[in-house]
Amino acid sequence: MQPLAKLLEAALFAASRPLTIDELASLDPAAGEPAVRVALAALRSAYSDEHGVELVEIAGGWQFLTRREYAETIERAQFALRPRRLSPAALETLAIIAYRQPVGRIEVDEIRGVDSGAVMDKLVERGLIEVVTRGEGLGRPLLYGTTPSFLEILGLKDLEDLPRLEELSVALRRPTPVDEPE
């Protein structure tokens, strides 16, 4: 393996969170970003089969993660535990915020048909959403967006990884005008 790939391997092993290309490139100022990308690709393929961990692109960065097939055994031994699952209400709220960001609480309430204040507070507390700006409307409402932690817990590279709305079986379209009864 190239020295740069080894250096990246060490840094990624040491870090407890995904490291961005910028962060990785800062390890060796002489290398430059393209070389880091090449080394990352090499590193990823080196870990592609023969190892219990693999190099994953996640939340705008790179991280070593254990392979899925070992989750149950590791968890049974209590070396690590899966995080708690998010409630349906939390996922609904996250889905709306992920697609509509920046979005205010009132809009989330309207789409869900229920008050979402408590759920949103919880999500802010867990660091999955944050206030990104203020709206122009009455009272300059706080507008929320998703955080890198949101991508991390879903294992997404970036927001582009979310399914496109057209791909869903129910497209969000103007309802076809209902035929007028005779």
Which residue, 24 or 94, has its beta carbon nearer to another protein? 94
CB of 89 to another protein, least distance (A): 5
Binding residues vs another protein (CB under 8 A): 13-17, 56, 63-68, 71, 74, 79-86, 88-89, 91-92, 94-96, 98-99, 110-115, 152-156, 162-163, 165, 168-180, 182
Query: Angle 117-125/105-112 helices, nearest 10 degrees?
Result: 120
Which residue, 30 or 164, has its beta carbon nearer to another protein? 164
CB 29, CB 39: distance < 8 Å? no
DSSP 13-58: HH-SS-B-HHHHHTT-TTT-HHHHHHHHHHHHHHTSSSSSEEEEEE
